[in-house]
Amino acid sequence: MNARTDEKERKKIKAVKKMKEIMTFYYIDAKTASETGKKVAWITSGGPVEPLIAMDVIPVYPENHGAMIGAAKMGVELCEKAEAMGYSGDLCSYARSDIACATVNGGPIGGLPRPDMLVCCNNICGTVLKWYEIQARYFNCPLFILDTPFCHTSFSAEAKRYVRRQIDEYITFLEDVCKKPFDRDRMAEVGRLSIEGQRLWQAVLDTTINRPAPMTAFDAFFHLALIVTLRGTQQAVDYYRLLLDEMNERVREGVGAVDEEKYRLLWDNLPIWYRTKWLSDKFAAHGACLVADTYTSAWCSSLKYMNEDDFLESMAEGYTRIYLNIGVDEMARTVIAMIDKYGADGLVMHSNRSCKPYSLGQYDIRSIVERERGVPTLIIEADMCDERNFAEAQIEGRIDAFMEMMAAKGSA
């Protein structure tokens, strides 16, 4: 082995293998649920999964599946199929992929297991409401909607009461579908594990405060899967402890994710799943490390509202006040806090055609950030799953120009 491949080996995150293993078993479990007598719930990525875990229901995430479809570069084919079914090409490509996939059991894992119930929380967007209505009709199965009022400037007392009441409705719904009583002790335990998992995930993300950063946002995109799908389980806690140890070890040894880290950038919006490697290499070639992002941190951003000794009570607030369910100005404040915390000197925004709640408002966030911190912004117009909206040459040109500008700024 020469020094180069040696270095490459050293940079590989070892936990990746473990993660792949866990996810494979998780999907096998989910796909064989009908044989093992377990129930399956499809749930939105920002949805309250803990009560499902407490009820021994296997949660399945169409959005995580969407990410897999995107990463496997199967998005275009499925999106086109959805368009042939009459869905507009302007709709969220996760939704389009999933709706099409359900009818053909396509995609990288031959489709998701049939749901016994659907749980939709609209804290991330209005898209999921329509999408889950469609699937509820298609699979003819019960749908629970957790309606989390938008917090433009505040979380009102009325909204809090409303969401809190719905948590009880949710529990009744689960008892009905599962035909068994809800176990509050078990719930308390799951709640504690969920919070512990979220704290560990935040700690993992925070290792990038170090220079050089031991991992990048592109790594975070990958390791995110467990905090989304297995939040509230011991498995997720164990995994993130392992990952955290490895990151801390790298920090001690001074192993950086990017050779000669010169620039530290913050990523905004969903990943561009079919081009993560390309983008990662592209930025690394300029000595730029994407040290943090607004997306993967959304799964621990509510920690401040959560009470581990009373999970059910604090859930209403925690699930309502998440990143996408707040006003543009509060989002900008979050971005600024991240720039400060991670020492970022530039912002990369993925203007994502698929995701209007995430993307509309980005231009204002950019202006606020530029005004308050003088940090330059690069905007990449694309889509998370639909590769037809990725103009490679143009994006490459913009990245190069941005990095040259950063370099000039640095030497000025």
* Smallest separation (angstroms) from ligand SF4 to the CB of 44: 7
351 binds another protein (CB under 8 A): yes
- Compare residues 127 and 280 and give the one whose CB is closer to another protein: 127
176 binds another protein (CB under 8 A): no
**Exposure of 12 by Cβ count < 10 A (0-12 exposed, 13-18 middle, 19+ buried)?**
exposed
Is residue 201 within 8 Å of residue 227, measured between CB atoms? Answer: yes
132 binds ligand SF4 (CB under 6 A): no
236 binds ligand SF4 (CB under 6 A): no
Q: What DSSP assignment string belongs to 79-109?
A: HHHHHHTT--TTS-HHHHHHHHHHHHT-TTT
Please provide the size of the chain in residues: 412
- Compare residues 73 and 373 and give the one whose CB is closer to ligand SF4: 73
Distance separating alpha carbons of residues 247 and 200, to the nearest angstrom = 12
Q: Which residues have CB under 8 Å from 267's CB, separation 6+?
A: 217, 290, 292, 293, 294, 295, 348, 350
166 binds ligand SF4 (CB under 6 A): no
* Smallest separation (angstroms) from another protein to the CB of 257: 31
145 binds another protein (CB under 8 A): yes
* Smallest separation (angstroms) from ligand SF4 to the CB of 72: 17
Q: Which residues have CB under 8 Å from 298's CB, separation 6+?
A: 46, 322, 323, 324
Q: Which does 21 bind (CB under 5 to 8 A by kind): ligand SF4, another protein, none?
A: none
43 binds ligand SF4 (CB under 6 A): no
Per-residue binder mask for ligand SF4 (CB under 6 A), 94-113, x = binder: xx------------------
Distance separating alpha carbons of residues 305 and 315, to the nearest angstrom = 8
Q: Which range touches another protein (CB under 8 A), out of 37-45, 120-128, 196-204, 289-297?
A: 120-128
Q: Which range touches ligand SF4 (CB under 6 A), out of 89-97, 115-123, 175-183, 392-400?
A: 89-97
Closest CA to 46 of 376, 319, 386: 319
Instruction: For 1-67, give the secondary structure using H, E and C.
Output: CCHHHHHHHHHCCCHHHHHHHHHHHHHHHHHCHHHHCCCEEEECCCCCCHHHHHCCCEEECHHHHHH
- Compare residues 150 and 305 and give the one whose CB is closer to another protein: 150
- Compare residues 67 and 187 and give the one whose CB is closer to ligand SF4: 67
**Exposure of 182 by Cβ count < 10 A (0-12 exposed, 13-18 middle, 19+ buried)?**
middle
361 binds another protein (CB under 8 A): yes
Q: Which does 283 bind (CB under 5 to 8 A by kind): another protein, ligand SF4, none?
A: none
Cα 7 from chain centre: 29
- Scan residues 73-102 and list those touching another protein (CB under 8 A): 85-88, 90-92, 95
* Smallest separation (angstroms) from another protein to the CB of 129: 6
Omega cis (within 30) before 115: no
Considering only 55, 71, 265, 355, the residue that binds ligand SF4 (CB under 6 A) is 355
Q: Which does 360 bind (CB under 5 to 8 A by kind): ligand SF4, another protein, none?
A: another protein
Q: Which two tokens stand for residue 197?
A: 């998992």
Q: Which helix (H) or strand (E) holds 348?
A: strand 346-352
Q: Which two tokens stand for residue 321?
A: 């006040």
- Compare residues 155 and 295 and give the one whose CB is closer to ligand SF4: 295
- Compare residues 241 and 356 and give the one whose CB is closer to another protein: 356
* Smallest separation (angstroms) from ligand SF4 to the CB of 27: 20
Q: Which two tokens stand for residue 264?
A: 């530290």
Q: Which does 390 bind (CB under 5 to 8 A by kind): ligand SF4, another protein, none?
A: none
Binding site for another protein (CB under 8 A): 85-88, 90-92, 95, 122, 125-127, 129-131, 133-134, 136-137, 143, 145, 147, 149-153, 156, 158-159, 161-162, 165-166, 169, 327-329, 351, 353, 356-357, 359-364, 381
Binding residues for ligand SF4, per CB under 6 A? 63, 92, 94-95, 124-125, 127-128, 270, 354-355, 357-358
